[in-house]
Amino acid sequence: LSAFRQREAVSVVGSSNMENDISLKFRQQLFLISENLVTEDVAALKFLCTDLLHLSKLEGVKSAADIFKLLMAQEYLNAEDTFLLAELLYRIKYHSLLEKLGYTKEKVQERLSEKGRISPYRQMLYELSENITSEMLKKITFLLQDHLPKRWMILSALDLLTLLEKQGLLTKDNVKILEDVCMTVSPDLLETIDCYKKGKVLCCNILSSPEVHTAAKLLKELGELPSFCAAKIHKRRCVMLSSEEEGTPVNGVFFFQPKVGLKYMVLEVLVLFSFKNTMKSYKMDGPHIGFCLIINNVNFNSSQRKGSCKDAEQLERVFTWLGLDVRTYTDLTSGEIINLMETWQHVPDHKDRNCFICCILSHGKSGAIYGTDDRLVSIRVLTSHFTAKQCPQLAAKPKLFFIQACQGDKIQRPVYVDTDGPTPDLSSMQERVSLSESIPEEADFLLGMATVDGYVSFRHMEEGTWYIQALCSKLQLLVPRGEDILSILTQVNEDVARRDSPSGTKKQMPQPAYTLRRKFIFPIPMAPPPS
């Protein structure tokens, strides 16, 4: 008996040590995650946990570790079940930290319908806050000034939403105040709110205990439920697989909860859905974002592109800040440009990268750019090196080309303004090439041209080109806001279109062409913009 008790005691001690080891490892995981989250991330986590933790306790939170302690105290988070934390990291788009919990973005997505805890209402508010720019926030604050405390300092969109909830002006059943201000400030924001309203919790009294499909059909006829596809039974719930209404991706779950003593059943319809736009984004969460080539042709046989080095330096700073591995090449002939494309076409490291970017600063004509030997290279030839067939390592990955060069011969040279085209030779005029002909027919290419076909682009001999300076400026301004590349290039167009040559007689309009299948969104850098 004594020997048995000794073995039992040793077993208990061993089990206790194992539990301590698991607990220590778990807390080390939480510590590492907390160390990677900055102030803005902590604010987002606090907001997303508002429905789970008492507000008075959340107000005392100073770090992510504080939130983790509160979640553990309420038994939302422990070493055996870390899904809530994985969901929170997924919601704030910090996918790189998921691996510390043994998750991937795809694994979290698969389990959200089963284990997700963040309510559709909270998701909607957070998604809305992510799309509210600082300028929009100022306008919204002005519109709501009669509803806000006189001395209240609004630091962020999340602060504003939290305050509106505290005052009872915003609830899961009443989002009218948001609809009103969004309609005035930016109607595009209404899409997120409309998506929530279509998918919010519906309660419907249905006589007796109808079969699931009958209940779904009735709700559709009443207009209470989006047009779901066929269903399947799973224990006490019926999972509605998808929605066909206006292309909105929605997953619905019916929970049946009979009320005691009543002859009818309350059918609660809980709709779980994603507030992301129907268009997905390219994967940009790998260990390396990609390579960025900069070809800067300055010295030609008969001319010099003064100010181009300013462009090259700015591009290098901005794309390095965005996390790309930048390589700059100066004064390449037409043959050297083609050879360079062939070299990079076969670089094996592309397979570990998310994208490829190439910036070319040179003189040009319709559909082509010049080497320093004054020979033309077709833009189509350059881009075709990186098709899926020619460069399999970049298949299905975005390839972005930014071309700063004239695309025509109409030239006028005001003071300090030069053009990126050679002195016209009327005897050698070539046919214009459609911009769409300059990019491969297959998907995942973007070609950003400094000017539309047939026209010159302008370069300040000290400050650089209008297009590249606008591009760098807008990338620094809008990438931290989570804007996709096409939205950024639209604002580049607006910026360049507002500029005038010193004589006030010349304008310029950039033109993008693309075969992108998804949104291209740069990861937001941790460091501040370089300028």
The 8-class DSSP code of residue 480 comes to: G
Active site residue 182: no
Active site residue 363: yes
- Please work out, in degrees rounded to the nearest 5, the angle formed at the alpha carbon of residue 35 by the alpha carbons of 34 and 41: 60
| Structural element, H or E, at residue 284 | none
Q: Give the DSSP per-residue string, 179-208.
A: HHHHHHH-GGGHHHHHHHHHHS-EEEEEEB
3-class DSSP assignment, residue 57? helix
Question: Residues 6 or more apart from 193 whose CB is under 8 A from it?
Answer: 124, 128, 175, 178, 179, 182
Active-site residue, selected from the candidate residues 195, 358, 359, 363: 363
Residue 215, Cβ density class (10 Å: 0-12 exposed, 13-18 middle, ≥19 buried): buried
Question: Residues 6 or more apart from 7 whose CB is under 8 A from it?
Answer: none
Contact predicate 166/175, CB 8 Å: no
Instruction: Please state whether 145 falls in left (phi above 0), alpha (psi between -120 and 50) or beta.
Output: alpha
Kind of pairing between the strands at 288-296 and 325-330: parallel
502, 307, 500: which is closest to 414 by C-alpha? 502
- Token couple for 489: 């290039």
- Adjacency order of strands within the sheet including 417-419: 417-419, 458-460, 464-465
C-alpha span between 28 and 17 (Å, rounded): 16
| Structural element, H or E, at residue 41 | helix 39-48
C-alpha span between 457 and 404 (Å, rounded): 8
- Token couple for 336: 């050297």
- Token couple for 420: 């990126």
How much is the CA Rg of the chain, to the nearest whole Å?
A: 29
Active-site residue, selected from the candidate residues 182, 358, 406, 472: 406
Q: Which residues are tagged catalytic?
A: 363, 406
